[in-house]
Amino acid sequence: MLHAEIVRLSLHHIDIKIINGERMHVLQWRRNLFWDDVLLDGKRQAASHGLWGREKVYGLVFGRDAEGRGGTQVMLLIDPATHNDWQTNSQRVKGVRLEARDGPLVAFGTLDPRTLEKPTTFTDWMKKTMGMEWGDEGRPH
């Protein structure tokens, strides 16, 4: 059973902790000036080169044998567009998702499936579009 958690998310760095049974792995994405790297436990698994149009979807396999058979397949998706966070005065990628056969292990931002859900009320719409919350929403009157 795989479990994942985003540890670091910035404009040029994404670090994801992955628990696979008794083992822990670190999946990293790094954006450099002319290339992007995907590293698993510090070893390069994939790279994408160029100024524009770099790869945004990567396939990885955990636990395959020496002949390349077996293992657990996962897909890493990155939306590298810039998101400016005015509250922390920082920039980060717009979205990241790590998905296994059974669905997303971890998802954030534009690649989170919940972003596709339509708001049911005006309050939900305000939260989604503007990040606003009203004061007494969760408390009984």
pLDDT for 97-131, tens place per residue? 999 988 999 999 888 877 766 667 777 766 666 65
Per the confidence metrics, is the pTM higher than 0.85?
no
pLDDT of residue 59: 92
> What's residue 128's pLDDT?
61
Helix (H) or strand (E) holding 123: helix 122-130
Q: What is the pLDDT of residue 122?
A: 74
Q: What is the DSSP letter of 51?
A: S
Angstrom distance (rounded) from CA 4 to CA 105: 6
Q: What is the pLDDT of residue 114?
A: 75
Residue ranges covered by each domain of the chain: 2-130
What pLDDT is recorded for position 99? 94
For domain 2-130, which CATH number applies: 3.40.50.720, 2.160.10.10, 3.40.630.30, 2.40.128.180?
A: 2.40.128.180
Per-residue model confidence (pLDDT) at position 53: 82
Given a cut of 50, the residues of the chain with pLDDT beneath it are 138-141
Helix (H, G, I), strand (E, B) or coil at 71: coil
